[in-house]
Every structure is written in structure tokens, then in C-alpha cells.
Amino acid sequence: MPNVITHSLFTDFDIDLFKAGKHYKLYEKLGAHLVEVNGVKGVYFAVWAPTAQSVSVVGDFNYWTQGEHLLQVRWDSSGIWEGFIPNLAKGSIYKYKIQSNINGVVTEKADPFSLYCEKPPHTASVVWDLDYNWKDTKWMETRQENNSLDKPYSVYEVHLGSWKRADNNRFLTYLELADDLVNYVKETGFTHVEFMPVMEYPYDPSWGYQLVGYFAPTSRFGKPQDFMVLVDKLHQAGIGVILDWVPSHFPDDAHGLGFFDGSHLYEHPDRRKGYHPDWKSLVFNYGRNEVRAFLISNAVFWLSQYHADGLRVDAVASMLYLDYSRKDGEWEPNIYGGNENLETISFLKEFNEVIYANFDGVQTIAEESTSFPMVSRPTFAGGLGFGMKWMMGWMHDTLEYFQKDSIYRKYHQNDLTFSMTYAFTENFMLPFSHDEVVYGKQSIANKMTGDEWQKFANLRLLYGYMFTHPGTKLLFMGSEFGQSDEWNFEKSLDWHLLQYDYHKGIKQTITDLNQLYKNNPALYEKQFSGEGFEWINYSDHQNAVLSYIRKGNDEKENLVVVCNFTPVVRENYRIGIPKKGKLKEIFNTDSSLYGGSGITNSGTLKVDSSPYDGRDYSIELTLPPLSVTVYSIA
């Protein structure tokens, strides 16, 4: 029997779709597949390498010998090399040795479509399958109800390697996380987790944002099926799963996608478009059909094969602009003379169209930090088609405000109110992400001003303001209990802090805010619409107080929110109310349960007929120090 048998999984239609950039399930064809040919079990290999002169599969089964198992190039000019190696089994370790017809360059590459990779620092691919018996049918059938834009969306952002470590600083496995992490997220009430990239990456300090194995969950924490167990358990607990996805750039590691077959295959050949100066990485050629099909197939793969509920697309701003982080002379304008990357815009629109057309109840979320218009608007209306966009301006302005001593805050009220001038131009997610707690920026808790009591009161106030502000929410791990130190990816979060009352109080605040958010439709039904928000008074900068109404579909469920951004107790503080009735305090960040001073508005509070704030009715409240108080209206 020959070393390699002629065999193909491709039809002519597959090839036509691939060439056109419209094949969105390439993972079913390219890569390594356990199959049976003429009664013989083995592995079918297929790899795209159009400038190759020869392609060998090398591995532990042939002593890594080039030429022992040669693939054959297809006749159809697709550039695909393929073949069946009999008697090869699951778990076999392999790479592709590619001799280019360009100056005879030889590259040795991991499989771009590998389902499983060797544990870093090893770099080979592993023959694997995705056989798994999913138990999340209930979640998948009802996902659209839990994951739509008019539902609560409170996201816990997690770096799997440093959320918690075992003894001797060992990584927790996917299976261990399927118990510990799932129970914790359920306890604290988050509706979703977002995993920083789980796709295989060679370099730990990249936090996963320099991907090599786009179709393989990292083997640092276990096997592919083990990651499926983690997703499955989260779904069974009613928790959605968002994956960070990085189509913006990739590293130039020797075994990766760069210079794959001796040519610029995946990266743009023009360095002005194909190299990222900030990250010293390579940028995909979004104008090449086969590359677009690779990336969109990858997005489809994680949503279909791993049941992900959404993709948070990293570094979208770097993709959209030809001059991003480039000096004059280092970039070339588009055909209209502008700085927009037209190929990227076209790609992102197609990506979103494919995802929303093929998956019910999923969301795509853009990390996009500029004023690029209509990022989260449908493509048919001229938008990019994302479901949500990170509200980076709100995040920067809010954190800057909270770092100011309270005595100066009356001069900076606009830092808070400005967000409402553009809050409904996009479907915004409010992010306090990992980027805000590294590189000397301090933890969220240590950004807060004042003595110890005020720091924690300010932190509770910050989170209360965040959860009552329009938009969905994202909080990086550790922030929910007031992690003191900056995030360090090389060790566990400081879980020992939960023995201290102030830190326990922050965790309880977040837990109760999550319940407040989920239990009150006024906070989510119109979270992306101006109809869901109404100022009561935004101009009381002298007292540094903001008051507003959050609205849902039923006005009987509306909520009144009052924020006091100073440590001064405001007694007999009057605000205007739109109608007669009664108010009842349902949430207070100053509760003694959280470590606050315990000043509350107890009982039922009657609205009187005194006009105020331009309204016919008003009410007097006691505003606790550095607090958010929330009231139902009856």
C-alpha cells in the first residue's frame, strides 16, 4: 500500500466557493480528518499552499522525514494539496513541510485548521476529532430569549490562566474550571462569561491575543472536549459564553500562518497593510477571497462546533483605518483618498451578515474605540452589522472622574453627563476590561480616591452608576471583589481578600446589582434606546448629584435613580417626579450589608404636589454619602 492514497473531501462546488471566498465551513474540508477509505482507517490531510512545489506531512509516525508522505496538488488551480495516509490514528503529531517554488524556500508549519495542538512551547499539530455528546439542548433552544438585545447582558470577562490557580501555581484545567468557575459565575449572578482568547497561542504574555491555532482551544488547560464540557456546564447553568476573536493580526512565529508557503499567503503583501507596528505582528489580507473564507469559517466554527453564544471582535479600530498607528508615509490612502480600509469594511460586513443569517440568538461585539459611524447598525442600513460596540469614551471619562477628589467633582460633571449625548448612536456595552487594570493603570479599586472607606464607597458608587446607565455591562475578573493589585497573568487573583469585609461588600454589591439588572425590565428592555432614559436633573454640579429615570415597556416598572458623588449626606434633597404616587427604595450602595454607613430611605415615600425640576410633582429624599439609590414608582 502506498504511503499516501489519492482521496478528496472536496467537490467542485466546494472549490468554487473557496475561490470565491464564500465557503464558510472550510474546517469540514481543510485540515486533518479521521476517515475510512476502501475499508482502511486513517487520516485525510488537506492544506492550502498555492506557491508550493511540494508538501510533505511530517510527524512522529515518519521520524519527521520530508518526502516520506507527499500530498498531491489538485488540478483545479485552487492551490490545495491533499491525500490520505492509511493506518494513522487520533493523537498523531504532525506538521506540513512545504517547499516553495519561490527560490526553493522550505517552511515547516503547524496545520492552520488543526483541531488540537501540542502544549506550548511545543508547536506541532495533533490529529483529533470533535466527538462530544452535548447536554445543553435547553439552553440552545431558548438562547434567543436569553441573548437578545432587549435582555440583561452582564458579562464577566475571564482570563482562564489566571482566574484561579491550583497548588504550585498550576493552571486549573477546563474540567476544574467547569466546576469552580461555573459555580462562581452563577453565585455572583452574571448572565455571560467572556473568555479572553482560548484559541492556541504560543506566548503567554500575549494573553492569547497572538493566535496560531485558530481552530484549536489551547492545550494548556486540557483537550478540546474538555473545553466543550466547560461551555456545556455554563449553558446548563443558564450562562452564555462569549469568545474573544482576533481577526485583526497574527504573530510571525515560524510555525504559524506567516510566510506560510514561502509567499505572503495569509498576510497582506504590502507591509503598509500587512504589518502591525504596535504589536509587531502580521495583518490578514482581507481582500483575498480565500483568507476571508478562512476567517469567516473560523467564526462559524466556534459558534457551531463549540456552541459559543457570541464573539467579541478584538482591535476593530486597528482594522478599519489604513493609518492606524502609522506615521505619514507609512500608509497609502484608499481609492477615494481616505484613510478607511475598504477591504476590511467589506470583510466585517460579510462576517456579520453570515453570522446573523446562520445563528439564532448570537451576538457579535466590536471593541472599537473611535467614532467610526454605525458600527452596531445593520449592513442593509449602511452599518458594519455588529450587535454591540464597547463604549470606550464612557469608560475613559467615568474612570477619570472617579479618580478626582470629591471636592473637585463639581467642576467636572460634564465628564459623566457627556455620555448621554451619544449613548444611543450605537448599541453600547459599558466595559471595565482587562486593559484598564494593567501596565501601571492600577486596579479599578485603586483608581478610587479617598481614604479606605471612601475608596470602597466610590467603588460601589461606580458600579451602581454603571448598572443603572443605559447599555450592557462588562467587568473584568477580580474587579467584582475589589482586587487591590493590578492584574498579573502569571498568578491567581487575590482570592484571600474575600476574608475582609470591604471586599466581601463589593462582591455582594455586584451580586445584588446583577439581580437588580435582571429583575427590573426598566434597566434592559430599552437599554439601547433614548426611550429608556430620561434625565430628572443633570445640572446640579454644585452638589455633584445626578438623577434620572430608567424606563421599560411598562411605565409602572420605571425606576428612579439618584447618584451622590460626594461623601456629604444630602438631607431633604428634592427631585422632580413626573406623576403622583409613591417611591420605595429598592437598592442602595450605602447599605451596611456592603460596608456602607447604612443611611437609607425606609418605608414608602410619598410624592407631593410641589413643582420641581420642571415637573408638577416632587419628593424629598435623603442621599447617602457616595451612593447610588434606586427607587420603584408606585
Residues carrying an active site annotation = 314, 367
Which residue matches cell numbers 479600530?
317
The count of C-alpha atoms lying within 13 angstroms of the C-alpha of 279, restricted to the half-sphere facing its C-beta, is 23
The answer to whether residues 429 and 388 touch, using CB atoms and an 8 Å cutoff, is yes
Rg of the chain, C-alpha, whole Å = 27
The answer to whether residues 31 and 115 touch, using CB atoms and an 8 Å cutoff, is yes
Q: Is the dihedral of CA 146, 150, 152, 155 positive or negative?
A: positive
What cell numbers appear for 93 in the block?
Answer: 503529531
The span from the CA of 286 to the CA of 465, in Å, is: 40
The span from the CA of 250 to the CA of 314, in Å, is: 12
- Secondary structure (DSSP) of 134-161: ---HHHHHHHHHHSSTTS--EEEEE-TT
The span from the CA of 325 to the CA of 322, in Å, is: 9
Q: Are strands 275-276 and 281-282 parallel, antiparallel or unpaired?
A: antiparallel
- Contacts of residue 408, Cβ cutoff 8 Å, sequence gap at least 6: none
The answer to whether residues 403 and 426 touch, using CB atoms and an 8 Å cutoff, is no
78 C-beta neighbours (distance < 10 Å), count: 18
The span from the CA of 625 to the CA of 512, in Å, is: 19
386 C-beta neighbours (distance < 10 Å), count: 29
The span from the CA of 398 to the CA of 394, in Å, is: 6
The span from the CA of 202 to the CA of 211, in Å, is: 7
> Residue 503's Cα: distance from chain center in Å?
26
> Residue 535's Cα: distance from chain center in Å?
31
Q: Are strands 617-623 and 570-577 parallel, antiparallel or unpaired?
A: antiparallel
- Per DSSP, which regions of 462-581 are E strands? 472-476, 533-537, 545-550, 559-564, 570-577
Secondary structure (3-state) at 168: helix
Q: Are strands 93-100 and 52-59 parallel, antiparallel or unpaired?
A: antiparallel
- Per DSSP, which regions of 218-261 are E strands? 240-245
* Burial class, 519, CB count within 10 angstroms (exposed 0-12 / middle 13-18 / buried 19+): exposed
Where residue 264 falls (left for φ over 0; alpha for ψ -120 to 50; beta otherwise) is: beta
